[in-house]
Structure 1
Amino acid sequence: MARRKPPTTHTGLFAEPEGLKPLAERMRPRSLDEVVGQTRLLGKQSPMRRAIEGGHVHSMVLWGPPGCGKTTLALLLAKYADAEFRAISAVLSGLPEVRAALAEAESRYVQGVRTLLFVDEVHRFNKVQQDAFLPHIERGVIVFVGATTENPSFELNSALLSRCRVHVLEAVPAEAIEAALRRALHDDERGLGKLGLRVDDATLATLAQAADGDVRRALTFLEIAAELSDGGTIDEATLAQVLADRTQRFDKRGEQFYDQISALHKSVRSSDPDAAIYWLARMLEGGCDPVYLARRMTIMAVEDVGLADPRAWRMALDAWDTFERVGAPEGHLALANLAVYLAVAPKSNSAYKALAEAKAAVARTGTLDVPMHLRNAPTKLMKGLGYGKGYQYDHDVDGGVALDQQCLPDALDGTAFYTPTDRGLESRFREKLEALRDMRREARATRTSR
């Protein structure tokens, strides 16, 4: 496939003053060769790269974290496809703006000009607004490119997804961000090359790492550092000022949030205290409500540690209570102790599985009668009907267990829902229960043979 040269950018009557644009905007890639990161999607021999360079562009949804290049890629798609670029934001636009943009695209379409309509934060549009694009995508009036930081499976209509291909963009690696920073430092036309800034490799690497996968953020850090630099040198002192108030990528209601709480839960389940304390720290530093974390770790204590170490349940409630009494930051230590304890504790989900199997039996067998000898008999009439007749009070029986007493309904007699593990305290339960079940089977067999 022949490689197409990206067409030049045409400006309107009033050209935007380059000097007033932020560094991140000035350094926005003008070709695929300038894009950093995204090698899986845009590598030299990737199908996507070959299609773009050939001018073959399809409607798509770009899903990825902030600063990974979604807007840049949309602009390049329009350039390589010789299409008119039109952008709207779902944060600032409503249905009237959508209809206006589509009407403009329609008028260009009849003149033989394609329109690439870029919709930023597309997940913020409701169903009616998303549906407005469908007929125009189908007819080819627009090449639709939506950008979202949220999982399209949950946030976008299935009708829109069926007409678009979802491309996943990843957070840009620190090494790739470092390359973008070096380019900005040496670019005399768009970057900071004329300033002659001095930055050593370690400082540049720290800036790249601090950007947390966001190229735009990294370039903003660099621009601020350039303004604060003393005599043209960006040193550790300058860096400390620039990075003092940086925050992590963390959305309290989005994909990042649920991915991280999932990682915490699964690290505890996998008995990895190092990973558990890391994910706990990530969520606390990201602004997650510590009470939410206490609640989730209480669930872990019940669901995953269970009867292998019942103390974990009590410890979870105590850690929760401790945080609510002392608050942050000291209360975070209670949660840290809990996370480590849960991770190293023996694990059992036997009660979880037993409940699930018992519920399945209830659904399968319906409303089975309680055996007569187990029924309560508070009145003379009920006693006369046989309620409670033959019941054995276990404390009065040798060994404290009435081995031949049936407690399940007749249809489920002999069913075992609970299977203890051989881990932690539950291993002792297992020994005792296996012995009891053997004795019950013998007692049941004796009772049947009479």
Structure 2
Amino acid sequence: MPSETPALEPCGSTWARSHDYTARELVRPRSVEDVRDLVLREPKVRALGSRHSFTDLADTPGVLVSLDGLGGSPSLADDIVRVPGGMRYGELAEWLQSHGRALPNLASLPHISIAGAVATGTHGSGLRNGSLATSVTALELVDGRGDLVRLEAGSADFEGAVVGLGALGIVTHLELRTEPTFQVTQTVHEGLSYADLQEHLVEILSAAYSVSIFTRWTDESDGSVARVWQKSRTTPAEIPGTVPATLAHHVVPDLDPAPCTDQLGVAGLWHERLPHFRPDFEPSVGDELQSEYLVPLDRAHEAVSAVRSLADRVRPLLMVCEIRTVAADRLWLSPAYGTDTVGLHFTWKPDATGVRELLPDLEERLPAGTRPHWGKLFATTDPGASFPHWDDFKELVGRFDPDRRFWNAWLARVMG
């Protein structure tokens, strides 16, 4: 009697339930050789990270590959740590701290996978801090021919491949530059007005190692429209027009602050302060949508004015908006390529229709040179106009994936 066929593992949805994956199957390879065999066997395949996107970016009509079964521990050589691509930043941070090392920055959520965050240009905050991808010194991926390819900083294809959108292959390992461990204090400042926001915007965003401004774009009837989250490695600078909070806050006003990292100026280790959220709590709100736009720093005031001009339409759909900075880099598809940027991050209520109707008008009003965060919702059908190496990246895709095994509907819409 034939053995019973094992049930396929459900593919599920994105972490915020904003997209249900349509892939035929989800597999968890146990080795790099398993990944190579899978790529050679399947005509359509995509890597699935921690599901922290809000679209079909990681979907495929074929097989989704989760690297959380690849296993393996990090290894440290001098200041470089080698990690499996499916590892999450929260896990790596604990391991690095136990070895007296740190990453220069972390994103808001420690829950995200390293390979997925790097591939989409995900970032933290800080005028002198690059995105998470800028820590990468080497990566290894299985390309569309099933070959294991290693790319190191300085090699011909490295700057094009790091923020690769999953289009070049399945990243199995990365190497990241680290530094000695350090401490950070986090203080929330209340009472920021629009006048001070506009007049002192860059000054405020420069007032600590990492700074985020949170607002709901409300009117100024109470004289206060925003809070400033200041994460400092040294003595923090004053924030014009604000006072330090005496109680802990959630980034979304009026929510329980328990999921957020410690505030009130109490020093703690880098990985316990740089993220907004603790790894042992559900990330962010959960049932939400997100968009983010990276604007050249010298056009930040225009961007703030653009959002304010649509505040009556933005406000009913919004949970909170975060304003933060990312330093320039040379990674082709990084939203901070070639310019220091200000990020306008919108956490939306789960009203997909309302958000999608708003985004084209919002994007039309944002300054020239604005770029979207790849893992979040955006409306533009021609993002390549803002990326000087757009056509070079398409050529890279053709070389790494000649049979378009990693191509999907999202890439077809965005890249044509």
For normalisation by structure 2, the TM-score amounts to: 0.21
Higher strand share: 2
For normalisation by structure 1, the TM-score amounts to: 0.20
Q: Which has the higher contact order (CA 8 A, sep 6+)?
A: 2
Higher helix share: 1
Larger Rg: 1
